[in-house]
Amino acid sequence: MFSIDKRTFVSVYALLFILFYATAAHGEWERLNQGLELGSFLSPQISAGEAPMIRVLRIDLQYYGLRLLNASAVKDKRSMTAKKWSLKHGLTAAINASMYQEDHITSVSLMRTKGHINNPRLSKDKAILAFDRRESSLPEVRIFDRQCDNFNELSNRFRSLVQSIRMISCRGTNVWQRQTEPWSTAALAMDRNGKILFIHVKVPHSTHDLINILQMLPLAIDRAMYLEGGPEAQLFVQGDAKSYEFFGSYSGAFANTTSPGYAWPIPNILGIFRKPINSSGN
């Protein structure tokens, strides 16, 4: 009978992984509209079910602006799926804005936008998304890293703030501790060209491993922050010709259970809208 020693097996496996990843990491980009592309990348994460795809919506801020919407800002406090938020408010795309508390309304950390405060509390989390600038000299969108940036000095210069957990720091490092528990993920990043990335991964990954994979992909990520995990994690995008809806699945004790088959209502979303032609973005 043919046999193979352990070291040879490991070497062959490593070679296959490298060849597999070298092919998968290139992925493919689909142009949905001017300034809007959807990337699909095959993760090296092994899955017994569907292909472990990483979806990345790349957004050019020359053509699109960010908007934060909260169920807490409306009378009936009604949560909706990312798709329904988008269709109701004329958004091109939407993703989870952050994790939320047991009241199913309030973000776990600081969250405010023009005319409404969902949560005024600044937590210990290091990443803060800032947009709706008050001065044209500022960048339209920025991810503050409180380890590197003076957030107290700059926070009042942006009307909209969303705080969450860092994934990739201002120094380009993976700052998520190793863990064994995997889950679906929704995340947000900025690349080195100043574009926004909405990221959705349905097949459960440990966050630490997912960050390592994202850094190996041709995404040129500068900073990244975690938005949501599990069945709640979702992304909806509507292009000129077609639309896509992605949502999470169960993990942990329910790892062998398939997706619930539908997107869950969520209370807070980050959306993008098409800027008027010749808009300055101020």
**pLDDT tens digits for range 203-215:** 999 999 999 999 9
Percent of the chain, pLDDT > 90? 76
- pLDDT tens digits along 26-52: 689 999 999 999 999 999 987 666 679
Domain count, the chain: 1
Q: Is 6 inside a domain boundary?
A: no
Q: Is 281 inside a domain boundary?
A: no
Q: Is 153 inside a domain boundary?
A: yes
Q: Is 105 inside a domain boundary?
A: yes
278: pLDDT strictly greater than 80: no
Please give the model's pTM, rounded to 2 decimal places: 0.88
- pLDDT tens digits along 157-191: 999 999 999 999 999 999 999 988 899 999 999 99
Q: Is 279 inside a domain boundary?
A: no
260: pLDDT strictly greater than 60: no
Q: Is 19 inside a domain boundary?
A: no
Q: Is 160 inside a domain boundary?
A: yes
Q: What average pLDDT does this structure show over 68-86?
A: 97
Residue 95's domain spans which residues?
Answer: 31-274
**What's the chain look like in SS3?**
CCCCCHHHHHHHHHHHHHHHHHHHCCCEEEEEECCEEEEEEECCCCCCCCCCEEEEEEECCCCEEEEEEEHHHCCCCCCECHHHHHHHHCCCEEEECCCECCCCCCECCCEEECCEEEECCCCCCCEEEEEEECCCCCCCCEEEECCCCCHHHHHHHEEEEEEECEEECCCCCECCCCCCCCEEEEEEEEECCCCEEEEEEEEEECHHHHHHHHHHCCCCEEEEEEEEEHHHCEEEEECCCCEEEEECCCCHHHCCCCCCCCCCCECEEEEEEECCCCCCCC
Q: Is 282 inside a domain boundary?
A: no
